[in-house]
């Protein structure tokens, strides 16, 4: 299995009127694919935040595959 870092972001407007992506939470997930990692991380996020839909607390999420450090 591969390891992914999944990040959840909220888009907020700063004092100068520019949108900024603010990290809400990150999760390390082991999964067979990026799609599986996102699915698992979204479920964890919903559970930890106590919401039915992850989009109530974040606007975007993205997964990045981490390099195998044993190589």
Residue range 13-71, pLDDT digits in tens: 999 999 999 999 999 999 999 999 999 999 999 999 999 999 999 999 999 999 865 55
pTM over 0.75: yes
Domains of the chain: 2-65 (3.10.20)
* Cα distances (Å, whole numbers) of residue 27 to 14, 21, 40, 44, 53: 26, 17, 10, 8, 17
* Cβ-based neighbour number of residue 41 at 10 Å: 25
Contact 4, 34 (CB under 8 A): yes
């Amino acid at each position: 299995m591969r390891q992914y870092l999944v990040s959840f972001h909220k888009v907020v407007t700063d004092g100068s009127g520019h949108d900024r992506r603010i990290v809400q939470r990150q999760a390390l997930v082991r999964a067979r694919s990026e799609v599986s990692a996102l699915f698992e991380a979204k479920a964890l996020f919903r559970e930890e935040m106590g919401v039915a839909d992850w989009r109530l607390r974040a606007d975007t999420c993205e997964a990045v595959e981490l390099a195998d450090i044993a190589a």
